[in-house]
Amino acid sequence: MDRETILAELKKVMAPYTENKEKLAAITEETDLIKDLNINSSNLVDIIIDAETKYNVEIDMESSERMIRVGGAIDVIQEKLNKTA
């Protein structure tokens, strides 16, 4: 799955957790979930759980620490998808 597709899908996954809809619409791989989208740090867990369900993968603690930026989240999801493929 290409990075642009995952980024578009991540927008939907993150939508319930940010009030800042304009910034969400304009995210790039550099976007920081906490600093730029004002997502509550405890909600990162929920985003990870939702991503796990969506892609049917398991994201371990170590990988989840790399999901602070959108690009990092895409890296992790791609890696996990490739593993299961």
Partner 1 sequence: MKRRVVVTGMGVVSSVGNSVPEFLQAIRNGTSGIRFIPAYKEHKFNCQVSGNPDFELDMLRDYITETSLYGLKVKGIAYGIKASIDAWTMAGNPIESEKPSWDTGCIFGGSVADGQMIRNVINRVEANESRKLGSRIVEQFMNSGVTSYISGRLGLGNRVVSTSAACATGAQAILMGYEYIKFGTAKRMVVGSTEYVDSYMFGAFDSMRVLARSYNDSPERASRPMSATANGFVPGSGAGALILEDLDYALDRNAVIYAEILGGNTNSGGQRNGGTMTAPSSEGVIKCIQDAIADARVDADSIDLVSGHLTATMADKLEIKNWVTALGRSGAEFPLINSLKSMIGHCLSGAGSIEAVAAILQLVHDFAHPNINLEDPNPEIADLIGLENMPTAIVKKEINIVAKANFGFGDVNSCLILSKYRP
Binding site for partner 1 (CB under 8 A): 16-19, 40, 42-43, 45-46, 49, 52-53
Would you say 9 or 52 has its CB closer to partner 1?
52
d(C-alpha 14, C-alpha 84), whole Å: 23
Q: How far is the CB of 19 from partner 1 (least distance, A)?
A: 6
Q: How far is the CB of 23 from partner 1 (least distance, A)?
A: 14
What the block records as the tokens of 11 is 């927008």
Distances in Å between the Cα of 17 and the Cα atoms of 38, 47, 49, 73 are 9, 8, 13, 15
Would you say 61 or 85 has its CB closer to partner 1?
61
**Contacting residues for 74 by C-beta, under 8 A, at least 6 apart:** 3, 6, 7, 10, 29
Q: How far is the CB of 5 from partner 1 (least distance, A)?
A: 24
Would you say 4 or 12 has its CB closer to partner 1?
12
